[in-house]
Amino acid sequence: MKTSDLCILVSVGVAFITTAYLWFNGQKEEGLFTATWIPSILTFAIYFQTYYWKIKMEDPLIFFVGLFCFVLAIVGVVMTYLEFKNIELKSKNK
């Protein structure tokens, strides 16, 4: 296993533990926010590994699948941010 793979797995593990800790200690909104880190970290890893593979391979399909996942992760983060802003506005209006 490469060092980069180990770093990614440790990052995902830390994000998962942080999410579980926040969720079970009553900070559900913060737990949901940190839960988005897990697929984002994995998507970054997929993107960069497929970029590395694209250099070695002629088939660009793998690269574009990684790029698609990367874009989906960014969209997920933006949508999560907007949802938290919406929740904040609703709580202020009450």
Is residue 27 very low, low, confident or very high in pLDDT (cuts 50, 70, 90)? confident
pTM, full prediction: 0.55
Model confidence band, residue 48 (pLDDT cutoffs 50, 70, 90): confident
CA distance 85 to 57: 43
Tally of structural domains, the chain:
1
Name which residue leads in pLDDT, 16 or 62.
16
The answer to whether 32 and 17 have CB atoms below 8 angstroms apart is no
Is the distance from CB of 75 to CB of 67 less than 8 angstroms? no
Query: 62-73: per-residue pLDDT in tens?
Result: 667 767 777 777
Stronger pLDDT, 51 or 36, i.e. the higher one = 36
User: pLDDT averaged over the chain?
Assistant: 78
Domain that holds residue 15: 3-93
